[in-house]
Structure 1
């Protein structure tokens, strides 16, 4: 076994068939680990999304967004039986040790190169344990070690007025600012709410921003978002909602779909938030809590998020 940092790996292996992943992030929530990988290819990377759930029982589900892979996994170890074409790549182990996450990948031929060298060269990787290099017809196996992070989803609503502003762009720009300040800004999702809402400015949408953070920096992230919104919002109804975790509670998703179909009250939003453990924070007013909470509930379902329901 060889233990190498990404820098050492890049220096040692310069073969033309190695295409480094751009970045790898791992977020932990009890016995669940969400792995986010930025693949060097775009549509070509979908092959991995098909293979991994077929091959490994540790992979609960997998999806692709552009060149970004998102694997929801459970911790543990499993034996995988690699078969060319049918089950060519998968995960053998997902372990959380202290402040690190260890994921053991295995694959045949090119998938083995991806398991060992390509992932090991990615940003976000602390080190890689190379067991078998792969390539040709050989098996490649490697453990990719990354920092243990946590997932934080921030719902934002009511930052504009009927005359100016746009919540979706303001929220995104705040996410970009925070990424420059060291926070991992993962996603931005627009959630369509009830079109007949009499309080809307126009399109009636709210926004969910997703971050991967070190456990000790969650409070700092929230405080920075509050300050930035206090400085930039144009509305006297601005609020945020804060959720820490990987799986969206069913009760919260149910609330979000309701908020797309009918008018919801602040009391209803507060009741659901208490039940599912979401923190509601007024920035300039309480009205925004309704949409901010609804944004979180559909932050993992882009198709449902943008859907419009009409009477």
Structure 2
């Protein structure tokens, strides 16, 4: 079977969307195609780093896994994809890029992210899909909670299924990625940092803020001054830029009001990190570090400490932020894998 390659020149991404563009709300899309399967769509942007993180949830993991493989193959704005259950996280580059559906044959189809662009307080993601994958980007994703509107180049792009190719721009609110690292809120007699961290996240009902997930970070169990497990906690949020100040204040106040320890550390990170920028990723799990070293490394990385103690909890709090997006390995000893 002849392989099918589908290229879009960088300059053509916006040329497809002219005067005949059709604009639909998620409700309009649902009315036209019936209710489908996307449960969430959210885009976080770090303009300084030129990066975006796209979060999608579906009713089933099979569709998410298929989409992730196809988008990775197609390239374009996609730098990497990760799947946990029925949730996909795309690490993407800001800008417009040519895409290539690669080895996928024309009768098999494919799916691609062509562009991620910021327009004021909105993010525009541009998509292409062939065959069944076209249904996903033209009919399913545009009706997901979190979408403001979908823009189609023409009526032909609203004809889905078969061997057709579909294009769509999905417009959503601009969010930023915000992470908190928390450590040393307990003592040998009472408390558990992970419990407080989750209570903090559940109590946060601020407008413009969405709780993403929480991770437990196994720190170095050989440190001399610790509670039994030596585990820090990370909280990840998506926040509208105007809500970040209130979120910082909420988390800091909640933790300091509910801690059992005088050594509590709270670290704050704003932006999308690559996960490769600090030797502390390994050191936090393998070495005995000082508060001074942790503060120096945090300053180098642009990570702030919000606590008012300046005590040893800052070491684990920094480690929690650094491992906040590293997957299940965060919960293990260094080098441990499932």
TM-score band by shorter chain is over 0.9
Match of 1:126? 148
Give the Cα separation in 2 of the matches to 1:56 and 1:89.
10
Give 1:37-186 correspondences, 5 Å limit.
Answer: 37-82=56-101, 83-84=105-106, 88-131=110-153, 132-133=157-158, 134-179=160-205, 182-186=208-212
Contact 2:75 2:112 in 1 (8 A): yes
Whether the 8 Å CA contact 2:208–2:239 is kept in 1: the answer is: no
- CA deviations 1:154-198 (Å, max 9, x no partner) are 111011111121111210121122157652111111111111112
Offset at residue 296 of structure 1 (A): 1.1
SS class of match (1:195): coil
Deviation for aligned residue 1:93: 1.9
In the alignment, structure 1 residue 190 sits paired with structure 2 residue 213: no
Displacement over 4 Å in runs of 4+: 179-182
C-alpha distance 85-229 of structure 1, shift in aligned 2 (>3 A): farther
After TM superposition, give the deviation of residue 142 of structure 1 in Å: 1.1
Provide the C-alpha distance between the structure 1 equivalents of 2:163 and 2:108, rounded to a whole number of angstroms: 15
2:305 to 263, 280, 283: 280
- Kindly state the Cα deviation for residue 284 of structure 1 after the two structures are TM-superposed: 4.8
* Structure 1, unaligned runs of 5 or more: none
Equivalence for 2:9? none
Equivalent pairs counted in the alignment come to 306
Contact between 2:208 and 2:243, CA under 8 Å: does it hold in 1?
no
State the Cα distance separating 1:77 from its structure 2 match: 2.0
Partner of 1:10: 30
1:261 aligned partner: 286
Name whichever of 228-237 and 271-280 sits farther off.
Answer: 228-237
What is the Cα deviation at residue 6 of structure 1?
1.0
Task: Return the TM-score normalized by structure 1.
Answer: 0.92
Q: Which residue of 2 aligns with 1:34?
A: 53
Note if 1:25 corresponds to 2:42: yes
TM-score, normalisation: structure 2? 0.85
Q: Note if contact 2:38-2:141 (Cα within 8 Å) is conserved in structure 1.
A: yes
> How far apart in 1 are the matches of 2:291 and 2:250?
25
Q: Hey, what does 1:300 align to over in structure 2?
A: 325
What's the CA shift for 1:140? Answer: 2.1
Secondary structure (helix, strand or coil) at the match of 2:306 reads strand
Tell me how large the CA RMSD over aligned residues is: 1.9
